Amino acid sequence: MERQDEISRQEMDKAAIDALRVGSRTISTDGCAIDPAAFWQALLPLLECMQKEYGLALKPLRVMVVTAKLGDTVDRWQHGLGLPEAGISNQPEGSAAAKTMSWGTDEESARSIIIVADYIAAGVIANHSVAITNIYHELGHLLDEFLRGMVLGFPKSQTPSRLADWPRARGILAEIAWSEFAAESLGATRMMQEDLRQFLLNDPWYLAGIDERLRQAVWSYKIKERTLDYLWINAVTELSDLFANLGRTIARLPFGDYGEEAFARMVDPNLAGGQWKAVIEMLKREFDTFGSKDYSEWGASPFAGIEQAVEEGFLVVGLIPVYDGNSLSVRVQ
């Protein structure tokens, strides 16, 4: 494949990226202080390793955007692509450091960019393992989205979904959970054991933090401090982050020296995870099943089991969605 690599300090838009040739990759520093040439030299061996192992999967990648304002840059790109401006995950337990964004409806029109926080780029230049793991995680997103699209079909529309469309909202959360599992399954291959151990120790507290905030939101609704609309929007946002991290957690388990111990801690009945045990076990079964298959073996409704786990997650915090095909009502226990 012909490759043309460039470095740039200028912003690019969707039209400019669509026009780039197959095999060309551009580093854009989006006005930040990172030296794009240094970042490219550090990044190139990682991309070559991926290219050697996965080949076609890197075909959509055109641009790596390095930015000092990750949230603003992601919002700008979401707006430019006609997507909801959902921003990035930003919880007290941890925040996103990069974002992969893809579009296109077939192999030829498929395009992807990876937006990276400047401190991650600096870490890659310095050969820090956590930064490199972040890059592999984002490449895992690209790999999953493209290969899944090649087999199951690329998205035909980028129309924002309504939160009142429960089947669609549930499906989006299920896809987010799978996507994070798939991405971290690649990212964890580059994770040092001490880093992996730290993540696995933090994961039960990540779950506990979101669980506690959700229960506080439910209580605020019950004492009429919050509306039901507020509660529902908050619950979808928090549970999206919760299921995303559960996907990453389950992906990390096989790579640790003490995976069984880490899983037992995750579902410890004395911690918040005890209430989530059935949901986590359901997710793990689904991820293990589909993670061991080629996409061509998935069938027509691969996320049905994950969607059931998502619905059970809402029940865990006392929210019962009832959808009649046109409208959604939510009962609060």
Together in a domain, 148 and 187:
no
| Rounded Cα gap, residues 265 and 199, in angstroms | 13
Q: Is residue 160 included in any domain, yes or no?
A: no
pLDDT score recorded for residue 163? 73
Q: Is pLDDT at 215 greater than 80 in this prediction?
A: yes
| Rounded Cα gap, residues 65 and 29, in angstroms | 6
pLDDT in tens, 32-76: 889 989 999 999 999 888 888 887 678 899 999 999 999 899 998
Helix axes 166-187, 277-291, angle to 10 degrees: 70
For 311, other C-beta atoms within 10 Å of its C-beta total: 17
The strand ranges marked E within the chain are 4-8, 24-28, 61-67, 90-91, 94-95, 98-103, 111-117, 319-323, 328-332
> Please, what is the end-to-end C-alpha distance for the chain in angstroms?
58
Q: Where in the sequence is the domain holding 322, given as residue range(s)?
A: 166-332
Together in a domain, 179 and 302:
yes
Together in a domain, 122 and 192:
no
Structure tokens at 68: 């000092």
Q: Is residue 158 included in any domain, yes or no?
A: no
Together in a domain, 197 and 302:
yes
| Rounded Cα gap, residues 238 and 99, in angstroms | 18
Structure tokens at 216: 């506080």
| Rounded Cα gap, residues 273 and 3, in angstroms | 48
- By DSSP bridging, strand 111-117 and strand 24-28 are unpaired
| Rounded Cα gap, residues 59 and 149, in angstroms | 13
Q: How many domains does the chain have?
A: 2
Q: Is pLDDT at 187 greater than 60 in this prediction?
A: yes
What SS3 state is found at 194? helix
At which of 123, 152, 181 does a domain end? 152
Residue for token pair 């999953």: 144
pLDDT in tens, 121-174: 999 999 999 999 999 999 999 999 999 999 988 875 544 456 788 999 999 999
Together in a domain, 94 and 229:
no
Residue 216 gets which letter from DSSP?
H
Q: Is residue 159 included in any domain, yes or no?
A: no
Together in a domain, 80 and 183:
no
Together in a domain, 265 and 194:
yes
Q: Is pLDDT at 119 greater than 80 in this prediction?
A: yes
Q: Whole-model pTM?
A: 0.92
Q: Is residue 31 included in any domain, yes or no?
A: yes
| Rounded Cα gap, residues 136 and 142, in angstroms | 10
Q: Is pLDDT at 12 greater than 80 in this prediction?
A: no
At which of 152, 177, 197 does a domain end? 152
Together in a domain, 20 and 138:
yes
At which of 152, 181, 200 does a domain end? 152
Q: What is the mean pLDDT of the chain?
A: 88
Residue 252 gets which letter from DSSP?
H
pLDDT score recorded for residue 5? 55
Q: Is residue 192 included in any domain, yes or no?
A: yes
Q: Which of 133 and 9 is assigned the larger pLDDT?
A: 133
Q: From residue 8, give the alpha-carbon distance in Å to each of 18, 28, 32, 121, 314.
A: 17, 5, 11, 15, 45
